[in-house]
């Protein structure tokens, strides 16, 4: 028994350490790159060629996993989802974080509860947490983009009416507004500077964000570039519509806050109580994991919990 406990502790420590290294290494290397960078004769930041090669070689912290996953059809779609969340991670690194998170939580629960089944369940939950955080980050970033878009459209409209080109208006939004919208518009301008046409660069921002309001802006600009017309007036109308959508979304979110909180508590409560009871009195729940009736009750409870969660999600979901 003590060997299993020691092994679980070592597994948990190793998984947690590797997880932290994968997640924070890009930020640490970014600070190191800035600290070691010099300036060339034109005043721009430059990094020595040898240092740049070192950074390239160190960039992928899960190269073997990248080679294994790169042929799978969902590899590129996962990369797009990570970009939608605004994370600087490769798909292989994200998968590694999920695996290590599951192993770490499984080891911790096995040490605390002495139950292999709870460890397996905890490992599944630990592996699912990064995916839930990814979806939550995507939704939050999309919401932030929609909230910033009316002000960006007003700024872009003013620039167009002052006689500036569209690219100059996008540059104004990039320099005067905060992320995430400044980051996305900056990427569009960088792609244009590298030779990509403006319509194609705008298609990229739609692909990266999956935001309906940004799609309207992109469609308006692409139509104007192809057919002409009064773009400033169109952007004014889009700005008013987006502002009303953001206001309505806030009202809906406030109205459904209590239901969402209740749903989260009801779904999490059985797992939290099971972990607490296993720690306080490990023998109390043993019949659930060692008898046929216990297995049947666990399956029934899991099924009812899943059905209840889906019903509550349907009740509080409001289509816009």
Question: What are 34-44's pLDDT values in tens digits?
Answer: 343 333 333 33
Residue 319 reports pLDDT greater than 70: no
Q: Which of 210, 206, 208, 189 is nearest to 198 (CA)?
A: 189
* Extended beta strands in 208-254, E state: none
Cβ within 8 Å of residue 247, ≥6 positions away: none
Mean residue pLDDT across the chain = 77
Q: Interior CA angle at 216 toward 138 and 82, to 5°?
A: 20
Digit-coded pLDDT (tens) for 96-146: 888 888 888 888 878 777 777 777 877 888 888 889 899 989 988 988 998
The pLDDT of residue 280 is: 85
CATH class of 142-255: mainly alpha
pLDDT digits (tens, 9 = 90+) for 252-298: 888 888 888 888 888 888 888 888 888 888 788 888 877 888 888 88
Q: Where are the beta strands (DSSP E) in 105-166?
A: none
Q: Quote the tokens at residue 161.
A: 């009416």
């Amino acid at each position: 028994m003590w060997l299993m406990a020691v092994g679980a502790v070592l597994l948990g420590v190793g998984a947690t350490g590797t997880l932290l290294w994968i997640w924070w290494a890009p930020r640490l290397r970014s600070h190191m790159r800035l600290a070691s960078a010099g300036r060339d004769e034109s005043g721009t930041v430059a990094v020595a060629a040898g240092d740049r090669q070192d950074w390239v070689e160190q960039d992928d912290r899960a190269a073997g996993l990248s080679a294994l996953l790169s042929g799978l059809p969902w590899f590129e779609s996962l990369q797009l989802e990570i970009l939608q969340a605004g994370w600087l991670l490769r798909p292989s690194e994200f998968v590694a974080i999920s695996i290590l998170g599951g192993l770490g939580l499984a080891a911790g629960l096995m040490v605390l509860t002495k139950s292999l089944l709870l460890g397996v369940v905890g490992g599944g939950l630990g592996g699912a947490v990064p995916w839930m955080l990814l979806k939550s980050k995507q939704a939050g970033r999309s919401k932030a983009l929609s909230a910033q878009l009316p002000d960006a459209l007003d700024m872009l409209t003013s620039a167009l009416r002052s006689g500036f080109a569209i690219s100059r208006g996008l540059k104004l939004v990039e320099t005067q507004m905060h992320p995430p919208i400044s980051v996305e518009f900056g990427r569009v301008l960088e792609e244009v500077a590298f030779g990509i046409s403006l319509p194609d660069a705008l298609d990229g921002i739609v692909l990266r964000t999956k935001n309906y309001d940004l799609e309207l802006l992109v469609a308006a600009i692409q139509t104007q570039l192809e057919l002409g017309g009064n773009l400033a007036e169109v952007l004014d109308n889009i700005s008013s519509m987006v502002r009303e959508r953001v206001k309505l979304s806030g009202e809906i979110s406030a109205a459904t806050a209590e239901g969402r909180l209740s749903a989260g508590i009801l779904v999490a409560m059985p797992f939290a109580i099971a972990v607490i009871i296993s720690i306080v009195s490990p023998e109390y729940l043993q019949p659930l994991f060692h008898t046929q009736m216990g297995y049947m009750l666990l399956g029934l409870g899991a099924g009812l919990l899943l059905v209840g969660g889906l019903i509550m999600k349907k009740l509080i979901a409001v289509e816009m």
